[in-house]
Amino acid sequence: MTKCFLMFLALCALGLAFTTSADGYNPFPGTDWRSGFIDVHNSSSLFYVLFKCMNASISKAPLLIWLSGGPGVASTSSIYLSPGPYIFDNKTFKLRANELTWANHADLLFVDQPAGTGFSIARELSAMCRDEACVARDFFEFLSKLYDLYPEYAGRDIYIAGVSYGGMYVPAIGAKILKAHDPRFVLKGVSMNNGITNEYVQFPSYPLYLWKNGLIGIGKYLVYEAVVTLCRVTWRRYPSMDEACVGVFDWIYTQSGSKRDPFDIDEPQEENDPIEKLISDLLNTKDMQRALGVNQTFSMVNETVYTQLFPDTQTSMSPEVELMLNSGVKVFLEYGERDYVCNWMGGQMLADSLDWKGSSGFRSAAFEDWTVNGVVKARKRVYRNLSFVVVMGSGHMLFVKQRGFALDYFKHVLAYNVPA
């Protein structure tokens, strides 16, 4: 742990971390950070916050790009979740230093994308992305200009992590980087956390997941299974039915009568997340916005971005994942076992459906226990550069209930060497 981070811990303990004057206000004390806007296509601008690695002993730290999902969820909000250097305590709701931050192992780049998300700007509706090709184009332009600003990153290892709809973003962007053949960009690995990547392959898992977890009986299971089967047949014959079929998962859960949170079936449903409100309130303060160089209302989710882009869920990103696998990129598919919305059964269907040079080897790979200090935290199937991981007791967001394992997982992503 670096001296600057120890200093930040001390400041937080004294209650002094965020009490400097407005003129000298530093929203991220104890860190080396930068923020700004980079213009991309159609006069749009993507906003970023970059944290340098807090471990001075790591020379040329890898760059981890963090992408929240939605679509339309601001990545900057994750500065205050497990990856970032700060966290709101889920019991006291007080802001404190995050001793488990991934910034101790890599430079962290949080990007509000696509345009219109978070602090990023889409100056007109037509500038908002409606497909992953647009997302990848804008992000690659952003990354190219970012490297012009910070040329020291040329040739460094890049890792991209995305959650939920990030399962669409990450392969789209990863494939774009590979196809560019730009020597500045060295894509080493990607992590898709509770991701939706190929809805057609993944959504048939919903009835089975509910039944296996005791949320419905055999009667409802058989009915829902028939509905899903009919929907898949209709979808294949009439592609315009895709949106209706994607909505089936929500209908099934509502009809099941469950009062559990679909993102974590161990928890009751709640209307509002107090942590999300705390993050939004903080990012809307005048001091914070002045320090970041922004002047606009921050929202965790941009509904217009969601509306414009969500229909593209029908597009399969499997070919892009297969390209990364065949190119030697480490691909990690991680799922919390208690998440219904992007559940691990659908994730396993995705992993087994991928057509790449290691397909047969992966399909025959058995689950192994992933232990931390002698305790089983996850199960994993691994063959060469594809890893499928199911985290015990975790919901949609790995770092909400499994913060310690989240760091162990990320360190493994960085350190894993593909067998020769």
Band of pLDDT at residue 3, cut at 50, 70 and 90: very low
Q: Give CA–CA dist 343/193, Å, rounded.
A: 11
Q: Which amino acid is at 132?
A: E
pLDDT recorded at residue 242: 65
Tell me the Cα Rg of the chain.
21
pLDDT recorded at residue 255: 80
Q: Give the CATH class of 3-199+270-415.
A: alpha beta
Question: Where would I find the beta strands (DSSP E) of 92-229?
Answer: 95-97, 107-112, 157-163, 186-193
Please check the confidence at residue 345 and state whether its pLDDT lies above 90: yes
φ/ψ of 29, rounded to 5, equals -65, 145
User: At which residue do the structure tokens 């690695």 appear?
Assistant: 53
pLDDT recorded at residue 239: 65
Strand order in the sheet with 63-67: 33-39, 45-51, 107-112, 63-67, 157-163, 186-193, 330-336, 386-391, 375-383, 368-372
Please check the confidence at residue 5 and state whether its pLDDT lies above 50: no
* Domain limits, the chain: 3-199+270-415, 202-268
Stretch (H or E) spanning 331: strand 330-336
pLDDT recorded at residue 260: 87
pLDDT recorded at residue 420: 62
Note the pLDDT tens digit of each residue in 33-47.
999 999 998 789 999
Closest listed residue to residue 200, CA positions, set 174, 221, 165, 229: 229
Write b or e for each residue in 36-74: b if 16 or more Cβ atoms lie within 10 A of its Cβ, otherwise e: ebbebeeebbbbbbbbebbeeeeeebbbbbbbbbbbbbb
Please check the confidence at residue 14 and state whether its pLDDT lies above 80: no
- 57 vs 245, more confident: 57
User: At which residue do the structure tokens 């598919």 appear?
Assistant: 333
Task: Give the pLDDT mean for 384-401.
Answer: 90
Q: Give CA–CA dist 84/406, Å, rounded.
A: 12
Please check the confidence at residue 8 and state whether its pLDDT lies above 70: no
Band of pLDDT at residue 418, cut at 50, 70 and 90: confident
pLDDT recorded at residue 217: 92
Note the pLDDT tens digit of each residue in 115-134.
999 999 998 888 889 999 99
Question: Which of 14-28, 128-142, 390-404 is predicted most confidently?
Answer: 128-142
Lowest mean pLDDT among 146-150, 226-230, 269-273, 288-292: 269-273
Please check the confidence at residue 16 and state whether its pLDDT lies above 80: no
- 335 vs 239, more confident: 335
pLDDT recorded at residue 21: 30
The count of other CB atoms within 10 Å of the CB of residue 314 is 18
pLDDT recorded at residue 53: 94
Please check the confidence at residue 6 and state whether its pLDDT lies above 70: no
* DSSP β-bridge partners for residue 379: 369, 390
pLDDT recorded at residue 240: 65
Task: Give the pLDDT mean for 243-256.
Answer: 76
Band of pLDDT at residue 11, cut at 50, 70 and 90: very low
Q: Give CA–CA dist 107/174, Å, rounded.
A: 18
Note the pLDDT tens digit of each residue in 265-322.
998 887 777 888 888 999 999 999 999 999 999 999 999 999 898 888 888 999 999 9
Lowest mean pLDDT among 39-48, 145-154, 285-294, 397-406: 397-406
Q: Which amino acid is at 360?
A: S
Q: Give CA–CA dist 142/121, Å, rounded.
A: 13
Residue length, the chain?
A: 420
* DSSP β-bridge partners for residue 163: 193
Cβ-based burial of 374 (10 A; exposed 0-12, middle 13-18, buried ≥19): exposed
CB 399 within 8 A of CB 406: yes
Measured CA distances, 260 to 231, 255, 400 (Å): 25, 13, 17
Question: Which of 20-24, 80-84, 341-345 is predicted most confidently?
Answer: 341-345
